[in-house]
Structure 1
Amino acid sequence: MKLYADRLPTAIRQLLTDILAVLWVYLWIRVALWIQDIVEKLAVPGQKLESAGTGIAGNLAEAGSKVGRVPVVGDDLTKPFTGAADAARSIAEAGRDQQQFVDQLALILPLVAIAVPMALIVFLWLPLRLRWMRRAGVAAAVRDDPAGRDLLALRALASQPLSVLTRLGPDIAQSWRAGDPEAVDTLAELELRSLGLRRRRPSPDAPAGALPRG
């Protein structure tokens, strides 16, 4: 597998695209963390509510316990304290519920914020990048082998636009079928150039300037 092209313009473009992809992911991770921090601050009122309710309930329960020691009327005097303590516990429970809700939001909202940007990377940029790496890796492995160059020529005939192929001559396909070394080399060079690759060593059979530039 090949990471970058041999030709400088293509390699620079790939490198810049990779850097932008990494920065894009980093930026949205930072945005997701920022959203999480903002949402988590919403839990502070719930924490205070829980703390206050728990403290008040404890104090009322303690007071009711002391009042309950009064002979004869102790049970009657305890009821208001017990009811108030239960109300305070309800307030504390509401504070806990609010914190749980905020915790869920702090998990869901960052995931939603990062889902679409990450989908663009995973389903658009990454498949194209991996596809080029596989194709370029195979082409680089066979580019100096005669049979490999024939395969590259076949690939060029199958994938290159007709407008590009016709510039090589009206009989380029027929010349390739006939095994013309010049036609094979020209088509192979066309495929390599489309991938941003170079030949490792010049072929003595291919005349200079066989591949038109444009």
Structure 2
Amino acid sequence: MKLYAERPTRRTAQAVADLLALLLTAFAVWLGLTAHEQVLKLQAPGDGLVDAGSSLTRTFDSAADNADDVPLLGKALAGALHTGSAAGTKLADAGQWQIEAVGQLAFWLAAVLIAVPVLFLLVTWLPLRWRFVRRATAGVRLRDLGEAGQDLLALRALTHQGLSRLASAGDVTTGWRERDPDVLARLAHWELERLGLHA
């Protein structure tokens, strides 16, 4: 498998593109995790509400239990105190809801910050690299076949080279049909050059 071109300029460009893709992925992961941590700090007020609500509920429940022992007014007083206990429960529930909402926000924000750049690379950079690897690997195999591979490379050069280059090279089609070794070698060289490979 041919991962990089053999020609220095193209190989350098590929290495730089790969490095940039790796750096972009690492930066996206770092940014996503950092944003996740920072957003989770917004859970502190929710934690405070849960603690305050739980404490309020315990206090009112304890007072209601003690109020039951008061003669005559004990039941009414205990009922009123249990109402305060219900308010503490609602306060704790509101805090819990805030904690869960912030947790979900932190998760989805991190997921988006990581996924968008990675998906961009999967749609743009990865197909280009994969196409190069496939073509360059096939080009190396054809080059290694010798004369038979040279014929196929020459044929591909006829179909992939620009018309201006073919026209300026003289009658290469006649030379290809007559199997002129010089013309075949030149066409194969052009195709290997297009693939980033040495002849």
The reply to whether TM is greater than 0.5 is: yes
Give the aligned partner of residue 12 of structure 1.
12
Name the % identity. Answer: 39
How big is the shift at 1:110? Answer: 1.8
Please give the alpha-carbon distance, in whole angstroms, between the structure 2 residues aligned to 1:50 and 1:77: 25
How big is the shift at 1:134? Answer: 0.7
Structure 1 unaligned segments of length 5 or more: list them. 200-214
Return the TM-score normalized by structure 2.
0.94
Aligned length: 198
Please give the alpha-carbon distance, in whole angstroms, between the structure 1 residues aligned to 2:164 and 2:47: 70
Moved more, 31-40 or 120-129: 31-40
Give the aligned partner of residue 99 of structure 1.
99
Please give the alpha-carbon distance, in whole angstroms, between the structure 2 residues aligned to 1:63 and 1:81: 7
Please give the alpha-carbon distance, in whole angstroms, between the structure 1 residues aligned to 2:57 and 2:150: 84
Cα deviation digits, residues 86-143 of structure 1 (max 9, x gap): 0010010000111111111111112222333222200011000010011001111120
Please give the alpha-carbon distance, in whole angstroms, between the structure 2 residues aligned to 1:13 and 1:190: 20
Whichever residue aligns with residue 111 of structure 1, its letter is A
Give the aligned partner of residue 89 of structure 1.
89
How big is the shift at 1:72? Answer: 3.4
Structure 2 unaligned segments of length 5 or more: list them. none
How big is the shift at 1:27? Answer: 1.0
Give the aligned partner of residue 148 of structure 2.
147
From the two aligned structures, give the one with the greater helix fraction: 2
Q: Does 1:38 align with 2:38?
A: yes
Cα deviation digits, residues 129-165 of structure 1 (max 9, x gap): 0100110011111203211111111211222222222
Cα deviation digits, residues 25-74 of structure 1 (max 9, x gap): 11111111121112111111111111111111111111111111223322
Return the TM-score normalized by structure 1.
0.87
Please give the alpha-carbon distance, in whole angstroms, between the structure 2 residues aligned to 1:193 and 1:158: 14
SS in 1 for 2:144: coil
What is the aligned-residue RMSD (CA, Å)?
A: 1.4
